[in-house]
Amino acid sequence: MEIVVCLKQIVDPEIPASEFRLDPVTKRQIRGSHALVISTYDENALEVALQLKEKQGGKVTAVTIGEEQATEALRKALAMGADSAVLISDPPLLEADDLGKARVLARAIRKLTTPDLILCGCESADWVSRIVGPFLAEELGLPCVTFGTRIEPRDGKIVVRRIVEDGYHLVEAALPAVVTIASDETNTPRLPKVRDIMAAVKKPITLLRMADLGIEPGSLKEMEGRIVLQDVAIPVREARCEFIEGDTPEEQAERLVLRLKELKVI
Amino acid sequence: MDFHLSEEHRLIQETVRTFASTEILPIAAELDQQARFPKEIIQRASELGLLGMMVPPEYGGAGLDTISYLIAIEEIARACAGTAVILSVNNSLVCDPILRYGTEAQKRRYLPDLAQGRKLGCYCLTEPEAGSDAASIQTVAREEGDEWVLTGTKIFVTNGVEAEICIVYARSEPEPGARGISAFIVEKDRPGITVGKVERKLGIKASSTAEIHLEECRIPKENLLGRRGEGFRVALSTLDGGRLGIAAQAVGIARACLEESIAYARERRQFGQPIASFQAIRWWIADMATRIEAARLLMYRAASLRDRGRPYTKEASIAKLFASETAMWAAHKAVQIHGGYGYIQDYPAERHFRDAKITEIYEGTSEIQRLVIARHVLGVRS
Amino acid sequence: MATILVIAPAYEGHVGRTSLELLGGARRIGEARGMEVVAALLGKGAGAAASQMWQYGVKRVYVADHPSILLGELEAFYLASLEACRAANPGVVLLLADSVGREVGPRLAHRLGGGIVTECIDVQAGQDGEVTFLRPVYGGKAIATYRLVNFPVVVTVKPHTMEVPAEMPVSGETIPLELSMDPEGLKTRVLEVVSEEVTGVKLEDAPVVVGGGRGIGGPEGFQLLGELARLLKGAVGASRPPADAGWVPPTWQIGQTGKTIRPDLYIAVGISGATQHIAGVSGAKVVVAINKDPEAPIFKVAHLGVVADYRKVIPPLIQKIKEIVGT
């Protein structure tokens, strides 16, 4: 099975809120000294792809749009077990909106391979828009299943376990298809072995420019014709925590119950 | 001069940091309190390739450079100093001398098991009467036909309980002092080698420290490591690398102290404000950060010399001395910043305080490091 | 004249209450722009729900009653949505950002030219007709404001973030949508629908929620939380780590990726307080945090904090509630 996994490199989303800063001009996070990582669910998507490869055979290609330093995310993907990696990099791409990114990814995927399956994280851990995956399906004219956690190949199709509000659906999809991946206990990303990290450093990464894909810079920000990002702000939280003290847990418990009763919430 | 870690260094750091924070840190306090050897962690570490990090892939290792190795040990020690020393000993004190002094047959025979975690190694140098004065060891190796017969007692052997492959230093030649010593590889399942008293320690409790008794222990001739009478050279050059491992362990402990102190100082409120707003606390934290940064650069510098095949004995001693004293100092301040909470086991500062001390003692005390550094700086032999 | 189109599933004539919340946002935009709010109800047997829309002042209700539009059959839902857009000529399309809207919304938007705001938590419409949409970004660490520039756009709205508007009964009409959908041509199909059994009250509707995090340590600890929740007639939820580890079903997850809740009381136990999680509980009236780590960020957003090991404090808490409040 030929599988393409779309990855995004972002500033570590686990940093505490107190260290989060915004650039007022670009309306983006200031990286500061924080680490760059693969966006959380993209790693789950890679894990699903690698498990499928182990079961079915085939090839996994990791693709990302990013700056030169995004090679590090691709190296990690290679170290985890991806067979090849593609970096699509060009300065105008930094400004691309979700539609622009989906177009670029679609062109790159068509140029590189004829995949059976394209996986994305269900959302990026920075902008959380959940758009690129379904957009990519539309660009490629493929069926789409979102928020899948497990994929079973069955009779030339796949069965996706899609998580929903009150459980899950088993959705059969014809191939090729685009699936966005959410996390569960079966797709916790593996840690690369240090030996594989060393091997990954020696593997080539394919670099694509916009010209290679026939993309015009003007086509990267079409969403702004409809919707414009006006402002990004850090919300002020004012709640000051009132600590319930006590010499014993029993005392703390009693005081808490009395306080909650006062507040009329129990 | 480039102070940036390479892509592979950063990936190794990220990988080991994730491993340490998700799998080791949650049980670090328990390992300490129960003085339990973390079998499951060592198993996972071996899957990730952390047991024979600098061993070339043809012998089953990961083929990392020394900087990568130190990055990994620092991250492990940040979570659990005891686990870090288990790995450091296997990598630096066991795999390394076999790799550098072993015959091709020895490398093929021992390194894959050691590097892939099937067997753990230990390093048997210290004796009751020979600590800092390692050249005065009394364990004897007697030649008998195709065999060496070893008799003596080794103490303070890290991994002594679990190890299956021991590097043993013994007196094989009539010459006194350093020149009469040879190194041997002794498998623990040979008759005549037994584990004696298991020490109860102040810190690094996840690792075992034991006596190893050799009583007419017979090993084949081919288990001699390096040349006859050159054992002391094997021991000392091995310790150069080992000291870097301990420096990395110390930096990891110091970083734990710093990170715990920052978190605590931000949250702990006294006199109506977080204690991080008090200048005394700020200065300590600033000094901790400064010393840690310096210690890390010292060890990277020594590692970079080692990776280039340059002499690095002095630099390794400098890094080990500075890093271990930084760890102890940082632990001291971390406990102080935590006040009463620093003294109790609910907070990790207390564990770091106990763990830090050993870094000033083993693989050469701070005094021995100063001796080594002074000899190099003064240009004298003794 | 462009309309504001609310698209909602109405399988067997049932419209979820959260779908009605969309009407609140729709009405706001409609009033600011002088546009009519219309609705499209999609699903087998959807027609029966039209009167519910009339009840809230929606006169024109498009209905796609088709045997292929069943629970989870999102491709059919998507094709029907496209048909609704053709008929209703929407300037703004509103869908819930739930398991349906998160898949159908972006695909629909792509067909309509790419304008979309997802995971919206508030719609603001000014006197001058300016319409803005708010949504959390960076895992809840920041709020982004998007301005509507041109029609058409799709907006998906996070459930439980808007109020169901006041009733405003009108006599309306239903407009059937002609679907040329070939069930054989669909490339996805639902093989099985598995619903987890909910004992007691649903997480989203519960007045009291007890949430557990990584600090709970394993699936066993959640039984204790369940006991507390049952006593308070509430529900149990979780932050991401327990869901990822499989200690609890993924449906229990509260936060940016999981559910948004607005209970009167939220008790966060062993939850460190990643913004990802906080984003899902910011509507709670009172937040109690129980955590043995006094440095946990959860205490920054909690109203009441108990620094303690939950194993030691929850059993007496259960006891005291029984004594003081009764069962």
Q: What domains, with CATH codes, occur in chain C?
A: 3-185 (3.40.50.620), 203-325 (3.40.50.1220)
Contact C257 A182 (CB under 8 A): yes
Closest CB to C305: pick one of A146, A244, A250. Answer: A244
B36 lies in the same domain as B134: no
Contact C245 A185 (CB under 8 A): yes
What is the least distance, in Å, from the CA of B311 to any CA of chain C?
Answer: 46
Cis peptide preceding A176, ω within 30 of 0: yes
Taking residue B57's Cβ as centre, other Cβ atoms within 10 Å add up to: 14
Q: Which range marks the domain in which residue B214 is found? A: 121-230
Q: Report the alpha-carbon distance of residue A177 to residue C189 in Å, rounded.
A: 13
B239 lies in the same domain as B360: yes
Contact A193 B10 (CB under 8 A): no
The confidence score (pLDDT) of residue B181 equals 97
B66 lies in the same domain as B135: no
Contact A172 C189 (CB under 8 A): yes
Task: Tell whether B2 is covered by a domain.
Answer: no
Query: pLDDT for C210-245, tens place per residue?
Result: 999 999 999 999 999 999 999 999 999 999 999 999
Please list every residue in chain B whose beta carbon sits closer than 8 Å to the beta carbon of residue A195: 49, 57, 61-63
Question: Which residue from C103, C52, C60 is spatially nearest to C81, judged by alpha carbons?
Answer: C103
Q: Tokens in use for A175?
A: 């191939």
| Three-state SS at A228 | strand
Query: pLDDT for A97-106, tens place per residue?
Result: 999 999 999 9
Query: pLDDT for C259-281, tens place per residue?
Result: 999 999 999 999 998 888 988 99
The mean pLDDT value for C6-30 works out to: 95
- Domain stops at, among B163, B195, B230: B230
What is the least distance, in Å, from the CA of A204 to any CA of chain C?
Answer: 32
Query: ∠B8-B12-B13 over CA atoms, to 5°?
Result: 115
Contact A227 C116 (CB under 8 A): yes
Is the confidence at residue C197, as pLDDT, over 80?
A: no
Q: Report the alpha-carbon distance of residue A133 to residue A139 in Å, rounded.
A: 10
- Residues C106 and C79 sit within 8 Å (Cβ to Cβ): no
- Domain stops at, among B183, B205, B230: B230
Task: Tell whether B216 is covered by a domain.
Answer: yes
B321 lies in the same domain as B240: yes
By C-alpha distance, the chain C residue nearest B263 is C295
The confidence score (pLDDT) of residue B268 equals 82
By C-alpha distance, the chain A residue nearest B269 is A243
Q: Report the alpha-carbon distance of residue B303 to residue B319 in Å, rounded.
A: 10
Q: Report the alpha-carbon distance of residue B225 to residue B227 in Å, rounded.
A: 7
- Say how far residue C287 (Cα) sits from the centre of its chain: 20
Question: Which residue from A161, A138, B313, B7 is spatially nearest to C249, judged by alpha carbons?
Answer: A161
B126 lies in the same domain as B99: no
Contact B63 A71 (CB under 8 A): no
Query: pLDDT for A48-89, tens place per residue?
Result: 999 999 999 999 999 999 999 999 999 999 999 999 999 999
Contact B263 C294 (CB under 8 A): no
By C-alpha distance, the chain B residue nearest A72 is B7
Please list every residue in chain C whose beta carbon sits closer than 8 Å to the beta carbon of residue B264: 295
Measured CA to CA in angstroms, residue A31 lies from A9, A22, B13 at distances of 12, 9, 19
pLDDT band at residue A238 under the 50/70/90 scheme: low
By C-alpha distance, the chain A residue nearest C259 is A165
Contact A75 B7 (CB under 8 A): yes
Burial annotation C272-296 (CB, 10 A radius, 16+ → b, else e): bbbbbbbbbbbebebbbbbbbbbbb
Task: Tell whether B316 is covered by a domain.
Answer: yes
B260 lies in the same domain as B188: no
CATH number for B103: 1.10.540.10
Q: Is B293 on the interface with A (CB under 8 A)?
A: no
CATH number for B219: 2.40.110.10
Q: Is C218 on the interface with B (CB under 8 A)?
A: no
B247 lies in the same domain as B373: yes
Catalytic residues of B: 363
Contact A149 C307 (CB under 8 A): no
B333 lies in the same domain as B197: no
* Cα separation of the two ends of chain B: 34
What residues contact C102, with CB distance under 8 A and at least 6 apart? A130, A146, A147, C118, C156
By C-alpha distance, the chain B residue nearest C245 is B22
- Domain stops at, among B230, B250, B274: B230
Please list every residue in chain C whose beta carbon sits closer than 8 Å to the beta carbon of residue A184: 243-244, 246, 250
By C-alpha distance, the chain A residue nearest B19 is A191
> Has the ipTM of the complex gone over 0.90?
yes
Q: Tokens in use for B31?
A: 């390992």
> What is the 3-state secondary structure of chain C?
CCEEEEEEECHHHCCCHHHHHHHHHHHHHHHHHCCCEEEEEECCCHHHHHHHHHHCCCCEEEEECCCCCCCCCHHHHHHHHHHHHHHHCEEEEEEECCCCHHHHHHHHHHHCCCCEEEEECEEEECCCCCEEEEEEEHHHCEEEEEEECCCCEEEEECCCCCCCCCCCCCCCEEEECCCCCCHHHCCEEEEEEEECCCCCCCHHHCCEEEEECHHHCCCCHHHHHHHHHHHCCCEEEECHHHHHCCCCCHHHEECCCCECCCCCEEEEECCCCCHHHHCCCCCCCEEEEEECCCCCCHHHHCCEEEECCHHHHHHHHHHHHHHHCCC
Question: Which residue from B204, B222, B235 is spatially nearest to B96, judged by alpha carbons?
Answer: B235
Closest CB to A79: pick one of B6, B11, B57. Answer: B11
The confidence score (pLDDT) of residue C127 equals 84
Question: Which residue from B5, B1, B2, B3 is spatially nearest to B68, judged by alpha carbons?
Answer: B5
Look at strands A117-121 and C3-9 and give their pairing. unpaired
- Chains touching C (at least 3 CB pairs under 8 A) are A, B
Q: Tokens in use for A7?
A: 């990855």
By C-alpha distance, the chain B residue nearest C299 is B267
Please list every residue in chain B whose beta carbon sits closer than 8 Å to the beta carbon of residue A37: 14
Question: Which residue from A113, A160, A133, A156 is spatially nearest to A4, judged by alpha carbons?
Answer: A113
The confidence score (pLDDT) of residue B3 equals 86
Substitution target from B8, B21, B68 for chain A, most A beta carbons within 10 A: B8
pLDDT band at residue C327 under the 50/70/90 scheme: low
Closest CB to A265: pick one of C285, C317, C324. Answer: C285
What are the DSSP calls for B2-59, one per residue? --SPPHHHHHHHHHHHHHIIIIIHHHHHHHHHHT---HHHHHHHHHHT-SSTTS-GGG
Which phi and psi (to 5°) does residue A190 adopt? -75, 155
Our count of domains for chain B comes to 3
Contact B263 C295 (CB under 8 A): yes
Taking residue C130's Cβ as centre, other Cβ atoms within 10 Å add up to: 13
Is the confidence at residue A162, as pLDDT, over 70?
A: yes
The confidence score (pLDDT) of residue B266 equals 82
- Residues C143 and C135 sit within 8 Å (Cβ to Cβ): yes
B127 lies in the same domain as B198: yes
Look at strands A157-164 and A167-174 and give their pairing. antiparallel
B interface with C, Cβ–Cβ below 8 Å: 263-264, 266-268, 346
Substitution target from B23, B259, B261, B267 for chain C, most C beta carbons within 10 A: B267
CATH number for B299: 1.20.140.10
What is the least distance, in Å, from the CA of C99 to any CA of chain A?
Answer: 5
The confidence score (pLDDT) of residue C208 equals 95
Task: Tell whether B238 is covered by a domain.
Answer: yes
- Chains touching A (at least 3 CB pairs under 8 A) are B, C
By C-alpha distance, the chain C residue nearest A180 is C103
What is the least distance, in Å, from the CA of B262 to any CA of chain A?
Answer: 13
Contact A197 B50 (CB under 8 A): no
Q: Tens-of-pLDDT digits for all 382 residues of chain B?
A: 778 899 999 999 999 999 999 999 999 999 999 999 999 999 999 999 999 999 999 999 999 999 999 999 999 999 999 999 999 999 999 999 999 999 999 999 999 999 999 999 999 999 999 999 999 999 999 999 999 999 999 999 999 999 999 999 999 999 999 999 999 999 999 999 999 999 999 999 999 999 999 999 999 999 999 999 999 999 999 999 999 999 999 999 999 999 999 988 987 878 888 899 999 999 999 999 999 999 999 999 999 999 999 999 999 999 999 999 999 999 999 999 999 999 999 899 999 999 999 999 999 999 999 999 999 999 987 7
B106 lies in the same domain as B148: no
Q: Is B117 on the interface with A (CB under 8 A)?
A: no
- Say how far residue C275 (Cα) sits from the centre of its chain: 18
Contact A200 B11 (CB under 8 A): yes
Is the confidence at residue C188, as pLDDT, over 80?
A: yes
Residue type (1 letter), B137: I
Helix pair angle (A71-80, A194-202), 10° resolution? 130
B315 lies in the same domain as B338: yes
Closest CB to A252: pick one of C142, C149, C313. Answer: C313
Contact C294 B268 (CB under 8 A): yes
Q: Is C184 on the interface with B (CB under 8 A)?
A: no
Contact C137 A127 (CB under 8 A): yes
B134 lies in the same domain as B219: yes
Q: Is C322 on the interface with A (CB under 8 A)?
A: no
Whether the model clears a pTM of 0.80, i.e. scores above it, the answer is yes
Q: Report the alpha-carbon distance of residue A101 to residue A131 in Å, rounded.
A: 10
Q: State chain C's mean pLDDT as an integer.
A: 93
The confidence score (pLDDT) of residue A239 equals 63
